[in-house]
Amino acid sequence: MINVLYIGNNLQRSNANISAIQILGPAFVNEGYQVYYASSKSLKVFRFFDMLRQVFWRRKQVSIVLIDTYSTQNFYYAFGVSQLCRVLKLPYIPILHGGNLPLRLKDSPKLSAMIFQHAKHNVAPSLYLKESFSKFGYANVVHIPNSIRLANYPLSSRNYESINLLWVRSFSKIYNPQLAVKVVYALKQKGYDASLCMVGPDSDGSLEDVSTLAADLDVSVRFTGKLSKVEWIKLAKEYNIFINTTNFDNTPVSVIEAMALGIPVVSTNVGGMPYLIADGENGLLVPPRNVDPMVTAIERVYGNRELREHLTHNARSVVAEFDWELVKQRWNAVLHP
């Protein structure tokens, strides 16, 4: 049995979606690994010290430390934990999250090198991040995609009598949720019967801004708050086009899930999205921060049954490669000594 210490934000909060640690950790346990976690502390400073404490305390129990690594404040969690691992001669693997990590490599080259050059591996969920790290000279990067259990995502027939848009993400400025409201407003102005459902928790106060904008534009938006996977998969049957409005991105699981469910995806062309979506083949890509191109793409999907079927068939084939039964083999390869 391999003992793993998994470092990440293991929080149980209503204003956060399920984190990577809460998806991967249980999956590893089901594969026979012993997994310890840090940290569930709500205050950041306590969480950081708990992470360090767990590394030191578990140093003789575990053979590898996994570190969820982001580009913003949580970057410093990864830095502190990785340097303690180096002192203790404990192998560690950063798991690279967030489409803005390449900017961190540029702005903090010395700190980045101290983390990533000394890692056993760096795991990149997207080819976008793998290539970005390679450009900065990091050769120890392994691509292991975000995974789903494909059997949990049944294909359903969808009604296209009207445009029913689905948006699934946490409400955060970097995901530009206001664009979704502006898009449905523009569709209505053009005479379409269009609706919008936005699923996800409020992470930075953006939900209030989005609600205010919807009221100002007199657009009715369905806000569900945070839903479980089962709940939003059931809800998705009511909607026929998935929109991803983000300004920065990696390979979001919500988009992978929409592709698995057979919902045509229209996404901004940022970060790792063109590595997941081939424009016109398994989804449509449009410039970020711009209403008109997204509206045009939605019109194309809505008005062309042949295009919809082409996109959804190819999308389901692409995400089949993300099934856990395949992805776990890559994890087993990097976790075993």
pLDDT, tens only, 291-310: 999 999 999 999 999 999 99
pLDDT, tens only, 170-185: 999 999 999 999 999 9
Which of 81, 110, 144 lies at the terminal end of a domain, its last residue?
Answer: 144
Sequence-distant (≥ 6) Cβ neighbours of residue 300 within 8 angstroms:
284, 307
Q: Give the whole-angstrom CA distance, residue 50 versus residue 39.
A: 6
pLDDT, tens only, 78-103: 999 999 999 999 999 999 997 789 99
**Mean pLDDT, residues 112-132 taken together:** 96
What is the count of structural domains for the chain? 2
What radius of gyration do the chain's Cα atoms show?
20
Closest by CA to 250, choosing from 268, 232, 238, 263, is: 268
Q: Give the whole-angstrom CA distance, residue 219 versus residue 42.
A: 36
Which CATH number do you get for residue 35?
Answer: 3.40.50.2000
Question: Is residue 327 domain-resident?
Answer: no
Average pLDDT, the chain: 94
Decide if pLDDT at 72 tops 90. no
Question: Is residue 333 domain-resident?
Answer: no
3-state secondary structure 44-93: HHHHHHHHHHHHHHCCCCCCEEEEEECCCCCHHHHHHHHHHHHHCCCCEE
Closest by CA to 75, choosing from 49, 100, 56, is: 100
Q: Residue 289 is which amino acid?
A: R
Check whether the bond before 39 is cis (ω within 30° of 0): yes
Find where tokens 């983390």 sit: 115
| 299 and 157 together in one domain | yes
| 103 and 166 together in one domain | no
| 72 and 199 together in one domain | no
| 192 and 101 together in one domain | no
Question: Is residue 81 domain-resident?
Answer: yes
| Domain that residue 315 falls in | 150-321
Contact (CB, 8 A) for 261 and 155: yes
Q: Residue 217 is which amino acid?
A: L
Contact (CB, 8 A) for 184 and 194: yes
- Helix (H), strand (E) at residue 183: helix 177-189
Question: Is residue 184 domain-resident?
Answer: yes
